[in-house]
Chains A and B, each alone.
Chain A
């Protein structure tokens, strides 16, 4: 009887399950937790309480966090607005700008591999009479700057292009995009959730007007994020989407999540201090994983640019093996797949499809998201396990067998179902 059960030995210093899905979320850094703790219990004040020490203490903590976040992205503290996370930040940026600049124009430019928080927000605005251009990406996942320039017209008010992609980790040329936007007098928003804290992002050098970031992607808490809103050259105005007490300079009402904000600030401070060393460490691990997989397996390929890429991201297709079945075989390792069977919509990843890959390649993809707490022994174990399971599943794959026999799969009349 054949078996798919892995015989790979678990090293003594590997604790299962292994978490390698850091683009989805990341564990809280213990240093962040430590900073947050007092703000749940003894320092529980409302940062908006102006007339007692509990409020002042909370406000002080919030202002420190604002400084820490601003410093990481080259902004000033006053330009940081706290939100519940990057989805809210993206909604506030796009809807808030669309509303505020409606008289100037109704055209927004974004691109096809954005997160749904951007794409669905833009789709909603289309219902309200806005015009949205969704730029394509090249095979490496990057947009073409000429396409962007051609898409701009006198009604264009906003360009929203992500800094780093959540699936394939590719880094868009935000500095050049920002430069072009400023030349044309168009605002530039970037969803920098995956990039901030991982690679250098500077709102001045990169010509960014509005930027979304989130706590839980950078070893901070969930449920807290921020929006950078430029105050000069140009001064960006955003219409509030949540009305209430007028918090956050009127742009986002609601009592501040003080412990979360403290955690986000601390996470940014740590990221700034450790970014260079961590990037070198993670790209080393990532390259090690890639080399191991490529040396032992045929028909594998990396999705998206290797050159312009987050240090911790590896997105690979193991052709002729379906992604969900591979995840099942490596069930002590937490990673993601672009396979339809793993998505809520039962559609293969739209990001991978946008690269021009066939659906079959998208079905075979795995995203490895390496993070601060992954180790080399973990990488070695994961590589061995993936290699073992891919080989076993290929013994089970009629497609792999046919290809080995020299059959051209594209010439077969498949019965789509």
Chain B
């Protein structure tokens, strides 16, 4: 598999690896994928309660190079955005940025799911039920 330089860069130097305190109300956690499918992403955000800006994002991924790169890129992109802005990120943006081949598109889908799941979790914790349901529906897909 010939990867793009950007995928290789994210794989070699993944951004924002780590974990945040799951129990904090400011933190939302998304865990998507399945070990049997060969990829699992955990993406976490810490949101400033007054500005709704994602101040910190962390990830860990079990998966191929593009899965690692997609989630690494996702954390880079969502940092500094408001949660609503972050929800605007589409998997196709990730595909374009990383020049993912067709067989790797599911990695970008998973990264988008991870963003939505993390935001959904945060919204649930913070009582914003209305959009949380939509996010939860996205996760279930």
Interface residues of A, Cβ cutoff 8 Å to B: 1-5, 320-322, 324-325, 328-329, 339-342, 346, 348, 358-360, 363, 395-401, 409, 412, 414-417
Taking a contact as CB atoms under 8 Å apart, the answer to whether A417 and B67 are in contact is no
- Known A-B contacts A5-B12, A359-B36, A417-B34; the reply to A325 vs B64 at CB < 8 A is yes
Extra contacts, 16 of them, besides A359-B36, A409-B35 (Cβ < 8 A), are A1-B13, A5-B13, A322-B39, A328-B3, A341-B38, A346-B103, A363-B35, A397-B62, A398-B31, A398-B40, A398-B42, A398-B61, A415-B34, A415-B139, A417-B34, A417-B109
Interface residues of B, Cβ cutoff 8 Å to A: 1, 3, 8, 11-15, 17, 19, 31-42, 60-65, 67-68, 103, 106, 109-110, 113, 139-140
A348–B12 alpha-carbon span in the complex (Å) = 25
A4–B3 alpha-carbon span in the complex (Å) = 16
Question: A415 to chain B: which residues have CB within 8 Å?
Answer: 32-34, 139-140
Question: A3 to chain B: which residues have CB within 8 Å?
Answer: 12-14
Q: How far is the CB of A326 from chain B (nearest CB, A)?
A: 10
Question: A359 to chain B: which residues have CB within 8 Å?
Answer: 35-38
Give 5 pairs: A residue, B residue, CB < 8 Å, sorted on A: A2-B13, A324-B65, A359-B37, A399-B62, A401-B19
Sorted from nearest, which 9 A-B pairs have the closest CB atoms? A414-B34, A360-B35, A398-B42, A359-B36, A398-B60, A324-B64, A363-B38, A341-B64, A397-B62
Question: B61 to chain A: which residues have CB within 8 Å?
Answer: 396-398
A348–B36 alpha-carbon span in the complex (Å) = 9
Taking a contact as CB atoms under 8 Å apart, the answer to whether A328 and B65 are in contact is yes
Question: A2 to chain B: which residues have CB within 8 Å?
Answer: 13-14, 17
Question: B140 to chain A: which residues have CB within 8 Å?
Answer: 415
Question: A399 to chain B: which residues have CB within 8 Å?
Answer: 35, 40, 62
Q: How far is the CB of A285 from chain B (nearest CB, A)?
A: 28
A341–B65 alpha-carbon span in the complex (Å) = 10
Question: B34 to chain A: which residues have CB within 8 Å?
Answer: 414-417
Taking a contact as CB atoms under 8 Å apart, the answer to whether A4 and B14 are in contact is yes
Taking a contact as CB atoms under 8 Å apart, the answer to whether A416 and B64 are in contact is no
The chain B residue sitting closest to A340, CB to CB, is B38
A305–B42 alpha-carbon span in the complex (Å) = 35
A321–B39 alpha-carbon span in the complex (Å) = 10
The chain B residue sitting closest to A401, CB to CB, is B60
Taking a contact as CB atoms under 8 Å apart, the answer to whether A322 and B17 are in contact is no
Taking a contact as CB atoms under 8 Å apart, the answer to whether A322 and B64 are in contact is yes
Question: A322 to chain B: which residues have CB within 8 Å?
Answer: 38-39, 62-64, 67
Q: How far is the CB of A25 from chain B (nearest CB, A)?
A: 19
Q: How far is the CB of B45 from chain A (nearest CB, A)?
A: 15
Question: A412 to chain B: which residues have CB within 8 Å?
Answer: 31
Question: A348 to chain B: which residues have CB within 8 Å?
Answer: 38
Q: How far is the CB of A392 from chain B (nearest CB, A)?
A: 10
A414–B64 alpha-carbon span in the complex (Å) = 18
Q: How far is the CB of B33 from chain A (nearest CB, A)?
A: 6
Question: A329 to chain B: which residues have CB within 8 Å?
Answer: 11
Question: B14 to chain A: which residues have CB within 8 Å?
Answer: 2-4, 396
Question: B106 to chain A: which residues have CB within 8 Å?
Answer: 417
Question: B65 to chain A: which residues have CB within 8 Å?
Answer: 324-325, 328
Q: How far is the CB of A406 from chain B (nearest CB, A)?
A: 15
Question: B38 to chain A: which residues have CB within 8 Å?
Answer: 322, 339-341, 348, 359-360, 363
A324–B37 alpha-carbon span in the complex (Å) = 13
A348–B64 alpha-carbon span in the complex (Å) = 13
In this complex, the member of A5, A321, A341, A397 whose beta carbon has the largest number of chain B beta carbons within 10 angstroms is A341
Taking a contact as CB atoms under 8 Å apart, the answer to whether B64 and A395 are in contact is no
The chain A residue sitting closest to B18, CB to CB, is A2
A340–B39 alpha-carbon span in the complex (Å) = 10
Taking a contact as CB atoms under 8 Å apart, the answer to whether A396 and B17 are in contact is yes
A2–B41 alpha-carbon span in the complex (Å) = 17
Taking a contact as CB atoms under 8 Å apart, the answer to whether A360 and B13 are in contact is no
A5–B91 alpha-carbon span in the complex (Å) = 27
Q: How far is the CB of A416 from chain B (nearest CB, A)?
A: 5
The chain B residue sitting closest to A5, CB to CB, is B12
Question: B1 to chain A: which residues have CB within 8 Å?
Answer: 324, 341-342
The chain B residue sitting closest to A412, CB to CB, is B31
Taking a contact as CB atoms under 8 Å apart, the answer to whether A358 and B64 are in contact is no
A359–B139 alpha-carbon span in the complex (Å) = 22
Question: B39 to chain A: which residues have CB within 8 Å?
Answer: 322
A358–B139 alpha-carbon span in the complex (Å) = 24
The chain A residue sitting closest to B3, CB to CB, is A328
Q: How far is the CB of A396 from chain B (nearest CB, A)?
A: 6
In this complex, the member of A325, A359, A416 whose beta carbon has the largest number of chain B beta carbons within 10 angstroms is A325
Question: B31 to chain A: which residues have CB within 8 Å?
Answer: 398, 412
- Known A-B contacts A415-B34, A416-B34; the reply to A321 vs B62 at CB < 8 A is yes
A178–B1 alpha-carbon span in the complex (Å) = 41
Taking a contact as CB atoms under 8 Å apart, the answer to whether B37 and A416 are in contact is yes
Q: How far is the CB of A341 from chain B (nearest CB, A)?
A: 4
Taking a contact as CB atoms under 8 Å apart, the answer to whether B60 and A360 are in contact is no
The chain B residue sitting closest to A329, CB to CB, is B11
Cβ contact of B37, chosen from A4, A398, A400, A417, cutoff 8 A: A417
Question: A398 to chain B: which residues have CB within 8 Å?
Answer: 31, 40-42, 60-62
Taking a contact as CB atoms under 8 Å apart, the answer to whether B64 and A320 are in contact is no
